[in-house]
């Protein structure tokens, strides 16, 4: 099954100034089983989105987005469905995780991965390829005829130290450094920095009204060990030439 993972266009001036780490994690969990390409379309026009999807054969599109990207995500899903009517469309990220039935209906999508997605997405893709029952995949909402089916909560990854290193191979880091300097040129540290990014923890014990972190990652805070965090920083420096690291 050929997979494209993407972040949809941003319809305001701001463009992503660091690689979409969520897509990089998802790719790391499926690329060993399925040909996978991750594409940051945040700076694309919709014409370029269409050209890209026409030039890249795909069986499944994974779209991860925040609420502020919901309109552009819907446009991308419509383009993908028009190009390949038989493709699977899977949604993820904080917005579809909060309103899965709504976005499944609006976007004519096949499934939503709720919250932490690495294990869930891998199992979902395998189920699609094997044409097995999606009821067995925990942590999703999917459509069955006219009904929406919730499969129950997915257990969180208990030990973040055991997670695979995100696959940034489709994201040229120098492009993000150029964008960051253009967007934030008054900030000296961005002038000569090659940007990398990583997670060191997930979850938050608090529940601020304006924040989706607790709802998405849960109120159970989990952290990587200091050694693993340093190992990841060193790997970013070695493999991507990162001299400036953003903690997400």
Tell me phi and psi for residue 60, to 5 degrees: -140, 135
Instruction: Measure the CA–CA gap between 22 and 172, rounded to whole angstroms.
Output: 16
pLDDT of residue 178: 64
pLDDT band at 147 (very low <50, low <70, confident <90, very high): very high
pLDDT value of position 209 = 87
User: Residue 14 pLDDT > 80, yes or no?
Assistant: no
pLDDT for 248 equals 83
Contact between 61 and 90 (Cβ < 8 Å): yes
- Cα atoms in the Cβ-side hemisphere of radius 13 Å centred on 202: 17
91-126 pLDDT per residue, tens: 999 999 999 999 999 999 999 999 999 999 999 999
Statement: residue 55 has pLDDT above 80: yes
Whether 239 contacts 169, CB under 8 Å? no
Alpha helices in 4-143 (DSSP H): 21-30, 46-55, 70-83, 94-98, 100-107, 118-130
Confidence of residue 43 (pLDDT cuts 50, 70, 90): confident
For the stretch 201-244, pLDDT in tens is: 999 999 888 888 888 888 999 999 999 999 999 999 998 888 88
Residue 10 binned pLDDT confidence (cut-offs 50, 70, 90):
confident
Instruction: Show the tokens assigned to 4.
Output: 């494209």
The pLDDT score that the predictor gives to residue 101 is: 97
pLDDT at 186: 54
List CB contacts of 7: < 8 A, sequence separation 6 or more.
16, 20, 23, 39, 40, 41, 42, 63, 64, 65, 69
Looking at every residue in the chain, the average pLDDT score rounds to 90
């Amino acid at each position: 099954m050929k997979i494209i993972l993407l972040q949809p266009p941003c319809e305001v001036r701001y463009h992503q100034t660091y690689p979409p780490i969520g897509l990089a994690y998802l790719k790391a969990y499926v690329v060993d089983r399925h040909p996978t390409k991750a594409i940051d379309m945040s700076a694309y026009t919709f014409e370029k989105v269409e050209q890209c999807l026409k030039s890249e054969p795909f069986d499944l599109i994974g779209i991860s987005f925040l609420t502020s990207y919901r309109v552009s995500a819907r446009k991308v899903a419509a383009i993908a469905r028009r190009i390949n009517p038989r493709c699977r469309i899977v949604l993820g990220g904080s917005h579809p995780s909060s309103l899965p039935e709504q976005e499944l209906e609006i976007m004519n999508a096949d499934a939503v991965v709720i919250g932490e997605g690495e294990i869930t997405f891998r199992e979902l893709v395998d189920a699609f390829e094997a044409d097995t029952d999606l009821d067995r995949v925990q942590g999703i909402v999917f459509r069955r005829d006219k009904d929406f089916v919730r499969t129950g909560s997915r257990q969180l990854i208990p030990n973040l130290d055991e997670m695979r290193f995100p696959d940034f191979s489709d994201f040229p880091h120098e492009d993000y450094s150029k964008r960051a300097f253009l967007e934030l040129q008054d900030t000296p540290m961005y002038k000569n920095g090659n940007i990398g990014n990583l997670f060191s923890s997930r979850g938050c014990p608090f529940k601020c009204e304006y924040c989706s972190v607790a709802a998405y990652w849960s109120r159970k805070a989990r952290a990587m060990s200091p050694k693993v965090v340093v190992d990841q920083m060193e790997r970013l420096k070695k493999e991507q030439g990162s001299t400036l690291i953003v903690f997400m």
